[in-house]
């Protein structure tokens, strides 16, 4: 059984048996997971290095000794990590209102213990999908930004005016260069940005 998405799931729960059971469940669905016994341990992992460049999801227990799940969630939200790493809360019965509140503030979902497991895994896969999309967007942006960075200053000026929709002649007038030179620059921009028309170029840049 092949996983739909090659993602990584972080589990933060103080109960070792729950962590291990979840990991086993995820493995049965060909999903990879890493688990942490506390919010502090997870934060330590975040501090060690950047997140791997793959779809991510965080299963977070609400009630833990030390830093609670909610506090950790708030910190992640502050760092803007929620897009790349959607959070699913694991809650006991008592914490349901809290969890609902957290969802309102940007959590992906919450799941009440004991969970109906495959439903949870389905939800996790959806979260990973969301993460993948966010990853995709980020990747596109990153490559676009890399290509823009390759342009020379003059080429960038020409690109700006092309995107504004000016004809070559006017661009030449504005930049005080010959129409011929504009045409050369324009062709090189199209080449470097891997587009065939000015419209396509404008669409690309809108993503950035």
Partner 1 sequence: MEEALAVAPPRWALSAFARLRSLWQRWFLWLILAVLVSALLVTVVWLAGRHEVEQVQANLDRDTADAVSDLRIGLQRNAQSLRATQASGLDRTHWPDAAASLLREHREWLRLEWRDAALRPLEAVNTPYRMRLIADESRGADQSDVGLACAAARKLGAPAYSPSHYVPILGGGGVEVMELCVPIDAGGFLVASYSLRDTLIELVGPTLTRGQEVAFTEADGTRLVALGTSRRTGTRVFTSQQLIDLPGAALMLRVDGWRAAPDLFPNVLTALVTAISIALVSVLVLLARDTRRRLRAERDLADALAFRKAMEDSVITGLRARDLQGRITYVNPAFCEMVGFSPEELMAGSGEDIEAPYWPTELAHEYQQRQARRLAGGMPPREGFESVFMRKDGTRFPVLIFEAPLINAHRVQTGWMSAFIDISEQRRIEELSRASQERLQASARLATVGEMASLLSHELTQPLAAIASYATGSLNMLGPHAKGEQAEVAMAVRRIAEQADRAGQVIRSVHDFVRRRDRTREAVAPQALIDAVLPLVRLQARKLGVSIEVALEDRLPPAVCDRTLVEQVLLNLARNAMQAMDTAEHVGERVLRLRVSRVVAVGGPGAEDARRWLEFSVADLGCGISEEVAGRLFTPFFTTRADGMGLGLSLCRTVVEQHGGVLVFEPNRPRGTVFRFTLPST
Query: What are the residues binding partner 1 (CB under 8 A)?
Result: 1, 15, 17-18, 20-22, 24-29, 63, 67-68, 70-71, 74-75, 78, 90, 92-98, 101, 113-118, 121
Tokens of 35: 């688990």
**Which of 49/65 has CB closer to partner 1?**
65
Place of tokens 């990590």: 81
In the complex, least distance from residue 34 CB atom to partner 1, rounded to whole angstroms: 16
| Cβ at position 8, least distance to partner 1 in Å | 18
Cβ proximity to partner 1: between 54 and 67 the closer is 67
State the nearest-atom distance from the C-beta of 130 to partner 1, in Å.
22
In the bound state with partner 1, the residue whose beta carbon lies nearer, of 94 and 149, is: 94
In contact, 109 and 100? CB cutoff 8 Å: no
* Shortest reach from residue 160's CB to partner 1, in Å: 39
The residue among 127 and 201 lying less far from partner 1, judged by its C-beta, is: 127
DSSP 135-204: HHHHHHHHHHHHHHHHS-HHHHHHHHHHHTT--HHHHHHHHTS-HHHHHHHHHHHHHHHT-SSHHHHHHH
**Do the Cβ atoms of 187 and 168 come closer than 8 Å?**
no
């Amino acid at each position: 059984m092949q996983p739909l998405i090659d993602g990584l799931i972080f589990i933060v729960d103080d109960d070792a048996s729950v962590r291990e059971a979840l990991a086993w469940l995820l493995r049965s669905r060909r999903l990879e997971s890493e688990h942490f016994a506390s919010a502090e341990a997870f934060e330590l992992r975040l501090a060690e290095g950047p997140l791997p460049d793959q779809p991510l999801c965080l299963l977070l227990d609400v009630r833990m000794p030390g830093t609670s799940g909610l506090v950790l969630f708030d910190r992640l939200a502050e760092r803007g990590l929620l897009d790349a790493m959607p959070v699913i809360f694991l809650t006991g019965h008592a914490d349901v209102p809290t969890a609902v509140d957290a969802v309102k503030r940007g959590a992906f979902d919450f799941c009440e213990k004991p969970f109906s497991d495959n439903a949870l895994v389905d939800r996790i896969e959806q979260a990973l999908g969301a993460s993948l999309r966010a990853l995709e967007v980020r990747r596109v942006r990153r490559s676009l930004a890399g290509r823009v960075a390759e342009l020379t200053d003059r080429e960038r000026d020409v690109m700006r005016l092309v995107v504004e929709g000016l004809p070559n002649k006017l661009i030449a007038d504005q930049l005080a260069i010959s129409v011929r030179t504009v045409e050369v620059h324009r062709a090189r921009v199209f080449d470097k940005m891997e587009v065939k028309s000015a419209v396509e170029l404008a669409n690309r840049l809108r993503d950035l």
